[in-house]
């Protein structure tokens, strides 16, 4: 801050100091030997100077402290004797001292003019004291200049300002990471305010004032009327609203957004709204792909399931046939009705009433989902479909159908619902971002076994349609379907383990296997960024002891960082080199090296500090969390720039004690 003219407080304080000096000097000049009244006057002025609750300093032209009052010295943790005779620069930070010199010079050049500025001082114990200083130069009796400085403690105000700025910065970063902006709307005047992220979502320049005609022009024509009706009704009734609609971007692409607003009233009683707008395009696309995948699965593998069942005309189970390696089918079902089996029959009476009406009407039903328990007593979710069957005379005999354990899908839906709520509260930003980045890789890993299931199911049907049917070949196809289904289930289980908070499970691990599993999850991400991976993994590593999910989380973070670091590289191959090797000191080393932009020497020491980031859109928590995980495993995470291009991150983990012994 440049020194300027004094504010009222500082001016009166420094003028008081100048008056003290003049009065003391004048009194001393007039005092005669034995003149007790004048000596008492000098003493009184000195007492006022010493104990006034304002910090006062007197500095000579070279910056030496000539005098300081007791209050001022105590504020800095010193006695007055400790400061007098020292350079005033000693109570300022090194990087601020040139500014202090410039301020003293300005005061010396403008005698009797007051100047003010705000600056940090350093206390004796090293802590910071923010002050607003007012200073001016006056001439002593001998004509020599002296700089008088009065200081106001503004530490609390500065700390509050810094906290506010930091809070605003965190909020802006959180909005950007979660693709959620905020807005305000005064319906009576049409005045609209947007956050930076809202401008980004609408692809509008931040210097442009948001207006309703522009918003309507951005909204998809098929959604425009519904948006107008929703907002008009909310404004008319003064009620909250929550709706989704599409935006048409300047390049013709479609963006899905969700707007949630809360109605309030201003001091005059007029309705105004404050709310959030979230870009949900990725979620919508994922839902669409999942729907298409599910439909294809139903079309080509309708009979592929966990178990088959039959009921009699009274709807009691008469037969269950399941795969030999499944434990999900509940035991002891024969003779029971489905509503006797399901523990949620009393909790959802309307669902079960409609189901029983369908059964009594002898019509097919599809995708009834209910809760049950597997043979181990664990809660599961079951999806069942069935068709009625009749004898030759048309008499109703019961139902035949299939059941599928959809616990993973239901849990995923529940997690997704929790995720949407978390996004609305701008929480769990890092986890949402990571899962969003891995969506393509996860979908790819699941689609591979599903494609194999479809192909094998088609082959199975072909074997069964032969005359006579080739049952051995059909059985092999079904076995392959089971294996591929388990592969897909393993992927889902692994992703769920990454996504949810689970207890740490420390077990012996093969570090190379952990690397391969982590790389498999980001294969799609590497392909979409044209990044190749070269793995040099030792095949005979001693085991480490750790939590598989946490260590995979560290590796995925380092790999994703490497991919991002090479995003702008076009003059050399984008390659990740991942290595694992045993060190002779009883540790295993795993390194991830990229050919990206690298790391400057100045940033290395702060790279793992919370909230430090070199990314324009980062929060600076990823590497800090990674280091905490590695250190919790008794290891070390470090980084170093490469000689040519890029950087290398190295994980050092101790060998499992049983292995080392």
DSSP letter for each residue of 330-380: PSS-TT--HHHH-TTTTT-HHHHHHHHHHHHTT--EEEEEEEEE-TTS-EE
The answer to whether the beta carbons of residues 574 and 595 sit under 8 Å apart is yes
DSSP character at residue 238:
T
Do residues 180 and 167 touch, judged by C-beta distance below 8 A? no
- The chain-wide mean pLDDT, for the chain, equals 80
CA nearest to 148, candidates 68, 43, 48? 68
- Which is it for strands 307-311 and 317-322: parallel, antiparallel or unpaired? antiparallel
Pairing of strands 575-583, 532-537: parallel
List of long-range contacts for 236-243, beta carbons under 8 Å, 24+ apart? 238/263, 238/265, 238/271, 239/263, 241/273
Nearest in space to 408 (alpha carbons), one of 444, 450, 380, 432: 380
Asked if pLDDT for residue 308 goes beyond 80, the answer is no
Asked if pLDDT for residue 40 goes beyond 90, the answer is no
Confidence of residue 19 (pLDDT cuts 50, 70, 90): low
Say which residue, 22 or 74, is predicted with more confidence: 74
- CB-side exposure of 601: number of CA atoms within 13 Å? 1
pLDDT band at 408 (very low <50, low <70, confident <90, very high): confident
Main-chain dihedrals φ then ψ at residue 469, nearest 5 degrees = -60, 140
Helices and strands: H and E segment counts in the chain: 22, 22
Reported as a pLDDT band with limits 50, 70 and 90, residue 612 is: low
Q: What percent of the chain has pLDDT over 70?
A: 78
Model confidence at 438: pLDDT above 50: yes
Cα 198–Cα 200–Cα 204 angle in degrees, nearest 5? 95
**Longest CA span, the chain:** 139
The pLDDT tens digits of the residues spanning 125-164 come to 999 999 999 999 988 878 889 999 989 898 888 888 887 7
Contact indicator for 519, 559 with CB cutoff of 8 Å: yes
Can you tell me the distance from the alpha carbon of 630 to that of 483, in angstroms, rounded to the nearest whole number?
Answer: 35
CATH number of 8-153: 3.30.450.20
Half-sphere exposure (Cβ direction) of 189: Cα atoms closer than 13 Å: 12
**CATH number of this structure's domain 413-499:** 1.10.287
- Residue 356 phi, psi (nearest 5): -65, -35
CA distance 149 to 137: 9
| 598 within 8 A of 641, measured Cβ to Cβ | yes
pLDDT for 517 equals 86
pLDDT class for 302, splitting at 50, 70, 90?
A: very low
* Residues carrying CATH 1.10.287, the chain: 413-499
User: 178 is written with which tokens?
Assistant: 């979660």
Q: Residue 52's closest CA among 21, 84, 17, 85?
A: 17
**pLDDT at residue 119 in the model:** 93
Task: Please check the confidence at residue 166 and state whether its pLDDT lies above 80.
Answer: no
DSSP 326: -
Cα 285–chain centre separation: 21
pLDDT(423) > 60 = no
| Whole-angstrom distance, CA of residue 216 vs CA of residue 232 | 13
Q: Start-end ranges of CATH 3.30.565.10 in the chain?
A: 506-660
pLDDT at 324: 42
**539-596 pLDDT, tens digit each:** 888 999 988 878 887 888 899 888 888 888 888 889 999 999 998 788 999 999 999 8
625 Cβ contact partners less than 8 Å away, ≥ 6 residues apart:
430, 557
Q: Tell me, what DSSP letter sits at residue 254?
A: E
Instruction: Give the pairing of strands 396-405 and 365-373.
Output: unpaired
Three-class DSSP category at 636: strand
pLDDT tens for residues 206-223?
888 888 888 889 999 999
Higher-confidence residue of 185 and 140: namely: 185
Residue 126's pLDDT is what? 92
Q: Which residues pair with 273 in a beta bridge?
A: 185, 263
Contact indicator for 240, 262 with CB cutoff of 8 Å: yes
Smallest CA-to-CA distance from 40 within 24, 53, 17, 51 is with: 24
The pTM of the whole model exceeds 0.75: no
The reported pLDDT for the residue numbered 48 is: 53
pLDDT, mean of residues 190-197: 88
Strands 191-194 and 241-248: unpaired
* Band of pLDDT at residue 410, cut at 50, 70 and 90: confident
**Beta-carbon-side half-sphere exposure of residue 19 (alpha carbons within 13 Å):** 8
Does residue 129 sit in helix, strand or coil?
strand
- In the CATH scheme, what architecture does the domain 169-279 have? 2-Layer Sandwich (3.30)
Residue 8: which pLDDT band, with cuts at 50, 70 and 90? very low
Report residue 149 CA to chain centroid gap. 47
CATH 3.30.450.20 maps onto the chain at 8-153, 169-279, 289-405
Percent helix, strand and coil across the chain, each rounded to 5?
45, 25, 30
Q: What is the mean pLDDT of residues 308-333?
A: 74
Q: Write the CB contacts of 545 (distance below 8 Å, at least 6 apart in sequence).
A: 506, 507, 508, 509, 633, 654, 656, 657
- What is the reported pLDDT for 343? 76
Q: Among 3.40.190.150, 3.30.450.20, 3.10.450.50, 3.40.640.10, what is the CATH number of 289-405? A: 3.30.450.20
Cα distance between residue 610 and residue 430, in whole Å: 13
Distances in Å between the Cα of 448 and the Cα atoms of 444, 454, 589 are: 6, 10, 32
Task: Please give the CATH architecture assigned to the domain spanning 506-660.
Answer: 2-Layer Sandwich (3.30)
For 301-331, b/e burial (b = at least 16 CB within 10 A) is beebbbbbbbbeeebebbeeeebeeeebbbe
pLDDT at 579: 94
The pLDDT value recorded for residue 7 is 41
Q: Say whether 533 sits in a helix, a strand or coil.
A: strand
Query: Mean of the pLDDT values across residues 248-258?
Result: 93
Nearest to 74 by CA among 123, 120, 118: 123
Mean pLDDT across 345-365: 88
Eight-class DSSP state of 588: E
Q: Which residue has the tokens 């991830």?
A: 592
Sheet containing strand 115-122, strands side by side:
65-68, 55-59, 145-153, 128-139, 115-122
Confidence class for position 245, pLDDT limits 50, 70, 90: very high
């Amino acid at each position: 801050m440049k020194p300027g003219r004094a504010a009222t407080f500082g001016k009166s304080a420094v003028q008081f100091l100048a008056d003290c000096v003049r009065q003391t000097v004048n009194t001393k000049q007039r005092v005669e030997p034995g003149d007790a009244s004048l000596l008492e006057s000098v003493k009184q002025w000195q007492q006022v100077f010493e104990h006034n609750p304002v910090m006062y300093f007197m500095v000579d032209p070279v910056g030496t402290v000539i005098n300081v009052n007791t209050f001022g010295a105590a504020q800095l943790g010193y006695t007055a004797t400790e400061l007098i005779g020292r350079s005033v620069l000693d109570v300022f930070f090194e990087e601020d001292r040139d500014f202090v010199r410039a301020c003293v010079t300005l005061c010396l050049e403008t005698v009797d003019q007051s100047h003010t500025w705000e600056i940090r001082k350093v206390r004796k114990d090293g802590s910071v004291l923010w002050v607003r200083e007012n200073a001016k130069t006056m001439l002593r009796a001998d004509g020599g200049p002296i700089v008088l400085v009065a200081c106001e403690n503004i530490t609390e105000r500065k700390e509050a300002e810094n906290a506010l700025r930091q809070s605003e910065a965190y909020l802006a970063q959180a909005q950007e990471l979660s693709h959620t902006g905020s807005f305000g709307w005064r319906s009576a005047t049409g005045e609209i305010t947007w956050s930076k992220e809202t401008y980004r979502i609408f692809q509008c320049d931040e210097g442009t004032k948001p207006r309703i005609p522009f918003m309507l022009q951005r909204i998809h024509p098929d959604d425009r009327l519904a948006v107008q009706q929703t907002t008009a009704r909310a404004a008319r009734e003064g009620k909250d609203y929550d709706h989704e609609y599409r935006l048409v971007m300047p390049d013709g692409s479609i963006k899905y957004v969700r707007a949630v607003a809360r109605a309030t009233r201003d001091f005059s009683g007029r309705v105004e709204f404050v709310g959030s707008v979230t870009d949900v395009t990725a979620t919508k696309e994922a839902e669409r792909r999942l729907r298409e995948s599910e439909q294809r699965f139903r079309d080509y593998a309708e009979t592929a399931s966990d178990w088959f069942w039959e009921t009699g005309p009274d709807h009691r189970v008469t037969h269950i046939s399941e795969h030999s390696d499944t434990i999900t089918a509940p035991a002891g079902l024969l003779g029971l009705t489905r509503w006797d089996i399901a523990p949620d029959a009393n909790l959802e009476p309307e669902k079960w009433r409609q189901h029983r009406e369908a059964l009594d009407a002898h019509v097919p039903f599809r995708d009834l989902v209910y809760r049950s328990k597997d043979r181990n007593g664990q809660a599961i979710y079951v999806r069942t479909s069935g068709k009625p069957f009749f004898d030759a005379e048309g008499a109703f005999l019961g139902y035949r159908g299939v059941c599928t354990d959809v616990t993973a899908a239901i849990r995923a839906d529940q997690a997704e619902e929790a995720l949407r709520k978390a996004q609305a509260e701008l929480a769990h930003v890092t986890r949402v971002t990571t899962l969003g980045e891995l969506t393509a890789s996860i979908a790819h890993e699941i689609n591979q076994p599903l494609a194999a299931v479809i192909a094998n199911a088609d082959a199975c049907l072909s074997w069964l349609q032969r005359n006579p049917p080739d049952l051995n070949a059909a059985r092999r196809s079904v076995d392959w379907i089971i294996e591929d289904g388990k592969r897909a289930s393993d992927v889902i289980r692994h992703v769920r383990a990454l996504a949810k908070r689970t207890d740490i499970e420390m077990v012996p691990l093969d570090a190379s296997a952990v690397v391969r599993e982590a790389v498999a999850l980001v294969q799609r991400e590497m392909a979409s960024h044209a990044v190749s991976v070269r793995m040099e993994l030792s095949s005979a590593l001693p085991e480490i002891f750790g939590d598989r999910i946490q260590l995979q989380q560290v590796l995925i973070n380092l790999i994703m960082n490497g991919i991002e670091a090479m995003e702008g590289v076009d003059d050399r191959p984008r390659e990740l080199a991942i290595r694992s090797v045993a060190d002779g000191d009883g540790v295993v080393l795993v390194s991830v090296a990229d050919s990206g932009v690298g790391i400057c020497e100045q940033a290395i020491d702060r790279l793992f500090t919370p909230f430090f980031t070199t990314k324009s859109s980062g929060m600076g928590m990823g590497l800090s969390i990674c280091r905490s995980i590695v250190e919790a495993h008794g290891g070390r995470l470090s980084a170093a720039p490469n000689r040519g291009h890029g950087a290398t991150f190295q994980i050092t983990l101790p060998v499992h004690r049983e292995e080392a012994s």
